[in-house]
């Protein structure tokens, strides 16, 4: 008996993007997989730029500098009038 193949077929949209890149004249193509299935297609130079971008930009440093939005439900100083009991939940 033959063993079943565990390989997943290439999605049609990824195959079309590979063919489109080849038709444009790309010499090197990078195919990125997600969960074992090809999902993204990049040109080699485009992929290298994308890999270098986080090292240059460092977006996590500028996120803390953004102003925080106003609180929609601000807290108020108030005391507890009476403790809640189980009988108060069901009327």
> Which pLDDT does position 20 carry in this prediction?
94
> Which pLDDT does position 85 carry in this prediction?
83
> Which pLDDT does position 18 carry in this prediction?
93
Structure tokens at 30: 């990078």
Among 46, 14, 16, which residue's Cα sits nearest to residue 28?
46
Q: Which stretches of the chain drop beneath a pLDDT of 50?
A: none
């Amino acid at each position: 008996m033959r063993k079943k193949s565990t390989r997943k077929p290439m999605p049609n949209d990824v195959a079309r993007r590979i063919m489109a890149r080849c038709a444009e004249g790309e010499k090197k193509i990078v195919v990125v997989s997600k969960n074992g299935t090809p999902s993204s297609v990049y040109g080699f130079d485009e992929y290298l730029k994308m890999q270098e971008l986080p090292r240059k930009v460092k977006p996590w440093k500028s996120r803390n500098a953004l102003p925080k939005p106003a609180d929609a439900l601000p807290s108020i100083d108030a005391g507890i009038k009476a403790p809640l009991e189980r009988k108060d939940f069901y009327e």
